[in-house]
Structure 1
Amino acid sequence: MEIKMLAGYTGPDYILAPGERRDFPKDKAVTLIKAGLAVPVGERRFNTMVKPSASETRR
């Protein structure tokens, strides 16, 4: 399962930086995702944004 790292992570055979993508066995990938360290590739994360109020007008 391909994942994208949200935080740095090291293991015996790899060193991953935030933003890097890597294939992991599904069980390991799910563990990293549940821990908040990674997201599945293809999943989009959006920041919610509040619609700005009407611009101020001065007279």
Structure 2
Amino acid sequence: MRQKKRRTSKNYIKVLGAKKNKLKNIDVEIPLEVYTAITGVSESRKNILVKKIFYQPVRKN
């Protein structure tokens, strides 16, 4: 059985130098038009990254 090729995206949202609560100057590229999961160890502030840095500005537009 052939495996399907993984879907990739050419479009990204870049977050550069994010600082909020305990996040300190992080850079990240979040792909658009594909399913994306944000993962990490406990207490790594994933929810801050998604809710405060990524979602709020996108929601305003």
Range into which the TM-score falls when normalised by the shorter chain? under 0.3
Larger relative contact order (C-alpha < 8 A, sep ≥ 6)? 1
TM-score normalised by L of structure 2: 0.26
Select the structure that is richer in helix. 2
TM-score normalised by L of structure 1: 0.26
> Which structure has the larger Rg?
1
